[in-house]
Chain A
Amino acid sequence: MPDTSSRNGLIPRLTDWLDDRAGVRDLVNDALYESVPGGARWRYVWGSTLVMAFMTQVVTGIFLWMAYSPSTQTAWESVYYIQHEMTGGWLLRGIHHFMAQAMIILLAIHFLQVVWDGAYRAPRELNFVLGLILMLIVLGLALTGYLLPWDQKGYWATNVGTELSSLAPGVGSEVKQLAVGGSSYGHHTLTRFFALHAGVLPGAMVAFLALHIALFRRHGLHAKDKNYAPDSTFWPDQVLKDSVAALGVLAAVLGLTVYYGGAELTAPADPASPYNAARPEWYFLFLFQFLKWFPGQLEIWGAIVIPTVVLIVLFLMPWIGKSKAGHFFNVGLLVVIIGGAVALTVQAINDDYYASGFTEEEATALLDSADDADNLAKTRYEASRNFLDAKDQAHNEAHRVIELASSPSKTPPTGALPLVQNDPYLQGPKLYKQNCASCHNYQDLRKELTELPSYERALVNEEPTAPNLYGVGSRDWIAKMLDPKFVNSKHYFGYKDSPFGTDGDYPEMVDYITACFADLEGEERKAVEEAFDKVAIALSAEAKLPSQVEADKQDAKLIQQGRALIEGKLADIVSEGMSCTDCHTFGEQQDIGSPVLDGYMSKKWLSDLIRNPADERFYGDMNDRMPKFAPHDNAMLNQLDDKSLELIVDWLRQDWYRPEKTE
């Protein structure tokens, strides 16, 4: 017994008091002065770094919990808020995200070392089993955490995972329903996953970790080489090494977080919009790839039977490893498993990024190849191209949704999904592809085809039968329509057999514009060009495009002149002796049979045109190709509903929310 009578300081007295009541000295001695046979070594740090990683997850997780709200209308939204609006939120979430990945790596190292060193042998079998249980808990945490942001990536990747659980013999469907909390993904999927992720699994983790460490202390450290150095104690030699290693792990995690700007948040989960680039996190990628090897009925082998058998063998390792041969088997098996997992992961990544190794020319050459030997490469290329394009588009969508959620009006109470579904920028291309793209082209002519991002390139129709709608109604678009170089091209009216032409020839508009410029040079040509420029500006002002509000205001005078030209003065300038109103209606000048120019390409004009192009204000009886998308007052009878129509029109007019540029 230490002599306490001579101690007068506050701290020694407090320690004595605590020791007397709780026996803290023994506890501390037990904890810190454990013997490390053969001395402290770097190779012993892995278990401790795992504990540190778990503590980091607990701490960051609790703070994330304080800001997270699990429901389909608030999960993405609250994670968006953490990521983009809370002080250091991106860092908090980034640490949590990357530390989870670090934990998987540390776990693999720890596990590999234990098996390699044969540290699972008696009396440590039970502790090995506890370790495997901890590993499963960590994987469970990773799986459940991936869904919680409720973004497209997590939603679709996890969906595949839970669908696979329905393969389980007999009870598969019930298992899936219980995991998902219903027949399809919804609020209760989130509440269940969150309860698992933040309650059940961490609780189990703490319990099993306590047992794991208690048994580890009971058996003592499994020294690789007891004579490596003089024996030492846990404190301070090994703790120093452990702490330095922990700091190293944290540095790596911080490095990744800063490098990637935190964890990714893709667009909010949309059950109706597939995410073609959905992949599990990299550490589950090998399982994903593994499934591709099991066609049809054999899938249950890949998804359930083989993984279960492997897991059982892992649990039996301490007993298999009793003999030397058994130990070699264990080590060999582990090498095969890890080697196989690495190979599958590499293969999965290779499959997905195969197309990125092709230049434009090589890709074209491959796809045009008639050689059957290239078929496999073609299939691989196309699958990979689809993946890469989907990824590109997902990034673009994510960027846009975050722009919308950051707008001054914020997210509505119904969540962020309506922001996506009501945004012309996001929905326009999809509706356009469904309804317009088989005839029209949509291509920014100011850019080379190869310069366009893949999601814009997807809208290009190389063999259109109707005008290019990019920038429709803008000054540039109209100026090109009035330009003899363009009007006759596939981007405008360069189509024979037009009902507006005679004897299967080009439409009259092409003849008119061509004739206006025919044989003109020098000053004469310039005068005509200037006149048509003014016509373009005046006509474009009719569209009232949001992007041209300022320009229209500034050029009021030019617009006035342009209007006068349209209404008749153009006839005095061009040799044809005709102006726009000789065929079209504009202002006071009435003429039917050609589209009305009042309000040309304005929201109402364009919307009415799409509703019924055969209306006498547009093509009338001459309409021979464009479908009537919504001619009926009763919306149920229409091909296109009013909302979709409005989205298409707004998108074509590039009338969508743009954030204020902050200086």
Chain B
Amino acid sequence: MTDPTKPKNNRRSAIAAIVAGALAVLTPLGVGIASFLTPLFKTKKSPKVRVALLSQVPDDGMPRSFPVVADRQDAWTGYEAQRIGAVYLVRNPGEAEPIAFTAKCPHAGCLVGYTPGDTVFKCPCHTSSFNLDGTRVRGDEEVSPRGMDTLPVELKKLSGDGDIEITEIHVEYIDYQTGHAEKHSTA
């Protein structure tokens, strides 16, 4: 006869208890984690944005800063025509098309600055500096792991009032991962 005061060493009960208990506790946790992971399942597209007119970027090789204005969605809020970033456009002498650099520093994502007349771009955070062609001034000595990121540029011709022909500069505003030597889109 077994002693009723002694607990039964019932392995099946123990396993069942653990499984049932774990299910009860972990199911809500799993559901929570799934919703927490939402950002990983959302796909993102890089917007193509009109940033300037070609006439605003003379071919003097000097960078000019333009805001990037696009519709933006932040969770439940839709923003119309928001400034989502900035680009520098540089048109070298004789070139028809400007080069577009995103102002986001490839090091840690600060906005790289440029003072008109300077020969370099300077990041205010960790003092990275870049030549006007986007390369790093001190090469691998620079804290930034790569030069400034260029963005795809497209020129679109519009007919203006009368005979005037107007060319718009469109840029695909790609958000690149920072801190790596290679360019990877975050999308």
Residue positions of A touching B, CB distance < 8 A: 72-73, 156, 159-160, 163-164, 166-167, 172-174, 177-178, 180-184, 186-188, 270-274, 276-278, 288, 291-292, 294-297, 299-300, 303, 379, 382-383, 386-387, 390, 421, 434, 437-438, 631-634, 636-637, 639
Q: Does B22 contact A (CB under 8 A)?
A: no
Residues of A within 8 A of B110 (CB): 156, 159-160, 274, 278
Report which of B68, B126, B146, B184 forms a contact with A173, defined as CB distance below 8 A: B184
A299–B175 touching, CB < 8 Å: no
Residues of A within 8 A of B168 (CB): 636
Whole-angstrom distance from the CB of B118 to the nearest CB of chain A? Answer: 9
7 more CB-based (< 8 A) A-B contacts, given A271-B85, A631-B161: A172-B177, A178-B39, A186-B75, A188-B39, A276-B124, A288-B126, A383-B122
Q: Which of B10-18, B23-31, B76-84, B93-101 contacts A (4 or more CB under 8 A)?
A: B76-84
A390–B124 touching, CB < 8 Å: yes
Residues of B within 8 A of A297 (CB): 140, 145, 181
The answer for the CA separation of A291 and B136 in the assembled complex, in Å, is 17
Task: Provide a sorted-by-A list of 24 A–B residue pairs whose CB atoms are within 8 angstroms.
Answer: A159-B110, A160-B108, A160-B109, A160-B110, A173-B186, A177-B186, A182-B74, A187-B74, A271-B83, A272-B83, A278-B124, A292-B127, A296-B136, A296-B141, A296-B146, A299-B179, A300-B179, A386-B122, A386-B124, A634-B161, A637-B158, A637-B161, A637-B166, A639-B55
A296–B127 touching, CB < 8 Å: no
Query: When A and B form their complex, which 6 residue pairs have the shortest distance between CB atoms, in order from nearest?
Result: A272-B83, A274-B111, A186-B74, A276-B124, A163-B109, A187-B75
Given A166-B177, A292-B127, A633-B161, CB of A72 within 8 Å of CB of B74: yes
Report which of B39, B107, B113 forms a contact with A299, defined as CB distance below 8 A: B107
Query: Nearest residue in A to B56 (C-beta to C-beta)?
Result: A639
The answer for the CA separation of A437 and B141 in the assembled complex, in Å, is 35
Whole-angstrom distance from the CB of B35 to the nearest CB of chain A? Answer: 11
Whole-angstrom distance from the CB of B125 to the nearest CB of chain A? Answer: 6
B124–A387 touching, CB < 8 Å: yes
Report which of A180, A299, A634 forms a contact with B145, defined as CB distance below 8 A: A299
The answer for the CA separation of A437 and B64 in the assembled complex, in Å, is 13
Residues of B within 8 A of A288 (CB): 126
Residues of B within 8 A of A437 (CB): 116
Residues of A within 8 A of B141 (CB): 295-296
A294–B143 touching, CB < 8 Å: yes
Chain B residues within 8 Å of chain A by Cβ, number:
60
Given A295-B140, A383-B127, A438-B116, CB of A180 within 8 Å of CB of B39: yes
Residues of B within 8 A of A163 (CB): 108-109, 178-179
Report which of A156, A296, A387 forms a contact with B144, defined as CB distance below 8 A: A296
Q: Does B65 contact A (CB under 8 A)?
A: yes
Query: Nearest residue in B to A291 (C-beta to C-beta)?
Result: B126
The answer for the CA separation of A163 and B177 in the assembled complex, in Å, is 8
Residues of B within 8 A of A183 (CB): 39, 42, 44, 175, 186-187
Residues of B within 8 A of A295 (CB): 138, 140-143
Residues of B within 8 A of A166 (CB): 177-179
Residues of B within 8 A of A186 (CB): 74-75
Report which of B56, B86, B175, B184 forms a contact with A184, defined as CB distance below 8 A: B175
The answer for the CA separation of A390 and B179 in the assembled complex, in Å, is 25
Residues of A within 8 A of B166 (CB): 637
Residues of A within 8 A of B55 (CB): 639
The answer for the CA separation of A88 and B142 in the assembled complex, in Å, is 47
The answer for the CA separation of A465 and B175 in the assembled complex, in Å, is 39
The answer for the CA separation of A604 and B37 in the assembled complex, in Å, is 53
Residues of A within 8 A of B34 (CB): none
Given A292-B126, A295-B140, CB of A187 within 8 Å of CB of B77: yes
Given A166-B177, A434-B65, CB of A160 within 8 Å of CB of B125: yes
Q: Mark B114-154, 1 if CB is under 8 A from A, else 0.
A: 00100000101111000000001010111111100000000
Residues of A within 8 A of B136 (CB): 296
Count, A-B residue pairs, CB within 8 A: 144
Residues of A within 8 A of B146 (CB): 296
Residues of A within 8 A of B42 (CB): 182-183
The answer for the CA separation of A636 and B81 in the assembled complex, in Å, is 13
A296–B140 touching, CB < 8 Å: yes
Given A182-B75, A639-B53, CB of A177 within 8 Å of CB of B40: yes
Max chain A CB contacts within 10 Å: which of B40, B111, B113?
B111
Residues of A within 8 A of B144 (CB): 296
The answer for the CA separation of A181 and B36 in the assembled complex, in Å, is 8
Q: Mark B50-91, 1 if CB is under 8 A from A, else 0.
A: 101101100000000101100000111100001111100000
Given A173-B184, A637-B166, CB of A632 within 8 Å of CB of B143: no
The answer for the CA separation of A632 and B166 in the assembled complex, in Å, is 11
Residues of A within 8 A of B145 (CB): 296-297, 299
Residues of A within 8 A of B44 (CB): 183
Whole-angstrom distance from the CB of B115 to the nearest CB of chain A? Answer: 9
The answer for the CA separation of A412 and B179 in the assembled complex, in Å, is 38
The answer for the CA separation of A379 and B118 in the assembled complex, in Å, is 13
Q: Mark B158-187, 1 if CB is under 8 A from A, else 0.
A: 101100001010000001011111001011
Whole-angstrom distance from the CB of B75 to the nearest CB of chain A? Answer: 4
B113–A276 touching, CB < 8 Å: yes
Whole-angstrom distance from the CB of A617 to the nearest CB of chain B? Answer: 18
B77–A72 touching, CB < 8 Å: yes
Residues of A within 8 A of B186 (CB): 173, 177, 183
Max chain A CB contacts within 10 Å: which of B39, B50, B103, B146?
B39
Residues of B within 8 A of A184 (CB): 175
Whole-angstrom distance from the CB of B170 to the nearest CB of chain A? Answer: 12
Max chain A CB contacts within 10 Å: which of B44, B103, B145, B175?
B145
Residues of A within 8 A of B38 (CB): 181
Whole-angstrom distance from the CB of A576 to the nearest CB of chain B? Answer: 41
Whole-angstrom distance from the CB of A415 to the nearest CB of chain B? Answer: 10
The answer for the CA separation of A156 and B111 in the assembled complex, in Å, is 9
The answer for the CA separation of A270 and B76 in the assembled complex, in Å, is 18
The answer for the CA separation of A183 and B185 in the assembled complex, in Å, is 11
The answer for the CA separation of A143 and B138 in the assembled complex, in Å, is 32
The answer for the CA separation of A72 and B111 in the assembled complex, in Å, is 20
B74–A274 touching, CB < 8 Å: no
The answer for the CA separation of A387 and B65 in the assembled complex, in Å, is 20
Report which of B56, B77, B113, B138 forms a contact with A386, defined as CB distance below 8 A: B113
A181–B108 touching, CB < 8 Å: no
The answer for the CA separation of A61 and B122 in the assembled complex, in Å, is 39
Query: Nearest residue in A to B145 (C-beta to C-beta)?
Result: A296
Report which of A73, A271, A292, A383 forms a contact with B84, defined as CB distance below 8 A: A271
A272–B67 touching, CB < 8 Å: yes
Residues of B within 8 A of A159 (CB): 109-110
The answer for the CA separation of A634 and B53 in the assembled complex, in Å, is 14
The answer for the CA separation of A273 and B68 in the assembled complex, in Å, is 11
Residues of B within 8 A of A292 (CB): 126-127, 143
Max chain B CB contacts within 10 Å: which of A164, A178, A631, A637?
A637
Report which of A188, A386, A438, A633 forms a contact with B75, defined as CB distance below 8 A: A188
The answer for the CA separation of A291 and B55 in the assembled complex, in Å, is 41
The answer for the CA separation of A437 and B68 in the assembled complex, in Å, is 21
Query: Nearest residue in B to A379 (C-beta to C-beta)?
Result: B127
Residues of A within 8 A of B56 (CB): 639
The answer for the CA separation of A297 and B141 in the assembled complex, in Å, is 10
Max chain A CB contacts within 10 Å: which of B52, B68, B110, B122?
B110
Whole-angstrom distance from the CB of B99 to the nearest CB of chain A? Answer: 19
Query: Nearest residue in A to B126 (C-beta to C-beta)?
Result: A292
The answer for the CA separation of A386 and B142 in the assembled complex, in Å, is 19
B109–A632 touching, CB < 8 Å: no
Whole-angstrom distance from the CB of B116 to the nearest CB of chain A? Answer: 7
